[in-house]
Amino acid sequence: MFKTAVEMEKAAMILKLLGDKTRLTMVKILDSHDCCVCEFVEIFKMSQPAISQHLRKLKDVGLVKEERRGQWIFYSVNKNNAYYSFVAEILKQLPDQDEKLKVLEENGTRMTCC
Amino acid sequence: MFKTAVEMEKAAMILKLLGDKTRLTMVKILDSHDCCVCEFVEIFKMSQPAISQHLRKLKDVGLVKEERRGQWIFYSVNKNNAYYSFVAEILKQLPDQDEKLKVLEENGTRMTCC
DNA sequence: TGTATATATAAGCAAATAATTATATAATGA
DNA sequence: TCATTATATAATTATTTGCTTATATATACA
């Protein structure tokens, strides 16, 4: 089933990170689509620094990784992370967030930026 | 697979609750054994009010329930809770905590109290 | 080379969290 | 009925968190 159980300390740390609605939704979205910061700014109607700070926390524990593409920095889930399978089991149980991206495409925000 | 996905808001709330090492371990233990407050005080080497407050939070969202047995109040996981299957998937991936209870039995603390 | 755009980072602050200490409640047993 | 034990609750405090505003950096493009 699972190679090895996640340590309690690490598990609690991951859960605390995911225990924020914004970050949880980010990870759920990133699990199926790469996104850049400006898309999240649109989706969550939050300031750019607030978004960047959430992404920083996710990056610091290795849950997401970043990749610059020209002017933009794209984030994606780091599926090689030791805790990815732990996280994936949680994400599985969450509702699809694709309609959030669809809204961006409809109002053109997705195209403009990325 | 799952009847219905857990709402993002609710999921984040549950994850935040479990994102504390003490509470996460409590729930993992309670998932297989009922326990009373004084046992947790021993296990975690924490003050009784601190333990009671953690249990209160878990009870407030319905993850655990309490049952008085004479002088003691026993806590157990509320498997009827709407979010139990969500939580159970997480607990599955955590290492067994039985040795923590074993320590209590060895030093007699488990018997004395409960 | 200068300006605009995307992003990160730092500093400051208000709200939330998790502990402590002190006190209240409830059951047990002499 | 009184002392003891188990637990809850309230008040206080220190720490952490998540935002804001201000500023820095890095790329693109005219």
pLDDT tops 80 at residue A108: no
ipTM score for this prediction: 0.92
What is the model's pLDDT at position A107? 72
Q: Which of residues 9 to 68 on A have a Cβ less than 7 angstroms from any strand C atom? A: 36-38, 41, 48-49, 51-53, 55-56, 66
Q: Which chain B positions have a beta carbon within 8 Å of A94's beta carbon?
A: 5-6, 8, 11
Per-residue pLDDT reduced to its tens digit, B36-61: 999 999 999 999 999 999 999 999 99
Q: Is the pLDDT of residue A15 over 60?
A: yes
The CATH label, of 1.10.10.10, 3.30.980.20, 1.10.1040.10, 3.40.50.1820, for the domain at B8-113 is: 1.10.10.10
pLDDT at residue B112 greater than cutoff 80: no
Phi-psi region of B70 (alpha: psi -120 to 50; beta: other; left: phi over 0): left
> Which residue of chain A has the CA closest to B21?
A12
Residue–nucleotide distance: B3 CA to D16 C1' (Å): 36
Q: How confident is the model at residue A109 (pLDDT cuts 50, 70, 90)?
A: low
Disruptive mutation site among A3, A6, A8 for chain B (greatest number of B CBs within 10 Å) = A8
Angle at A10 between CA A4 and CA A11, to 5 degrees: 75
pLDDT confidence of residue A111? 44
pLDDT of residue B9 exceeding 50: yes
Q: Inspect the interface and report whether the beta carbons of B20 and A8 lie closer than 8 Å.
A: no
Q: Which residue is nearest to nucleotide D26 (CA to C1')?
A: A71
Res A64: pLDDT? 98
| pLDDT at residue B67 tops 50 | yes
Separation of CA B110 and C1' C28 in angstroms? 19
List CB contacts of A1: < 8 A, sequence separation 6 or more. B92
Contact B15 A8 (CB under 8 A): no
Q: List the strands of the sheet with A35-36, edge to edge.
A: A35-36, A72-77, A64-69
As to burial, measured by CB atoms within 10 angstroms (0-12 exposed, 13-18 middle, 19+ buried), residue B2 is: exposed
pLDDT at residue B28, rounded to an integer: 98
What pLDDT is attached to residue B6? Answer: 79
Structure confidence at residue A95 (pLDDT)? 96
Judge: A13–B19 Cβ closer than 8 Å, yes or no: yes
Beta carbons of A90 and B90 less than 8 angstroms apart: yes
- For residues A30 and A77, the answer to whether their CB atoms sit within 8 Å is yes
B87 strand D contact, CB < 7 Å: no
Residue A67 has pLDDT above 60, yes or no: yes
- The domain limits of chain B are 8-113
Residues of chain A found within 8 Å of residue B93, distances taken between Cβ atoms: 2, 5-6, 11, 85-86, 89
Task: For residue A76, give the 3-state DSSP assignment.
Answer: strand
Which of B29, B14, B1, B34 shows the shortest CA–CA distance to B94?
B29
pLDDT band at B78 (very low <50, low <70, confident <90, very high): very high
Q: What is the mean pLDDT of residues B61-81?
A: 96
> Mean pLDDT in chain A?
91
> Which one-letter DSSP state was computed for residue A81?
S
Q: Test B8 with A93 for CB contact under 8 angstroms.
A: no
Higher pLDDT pick, B112 / B94: B94
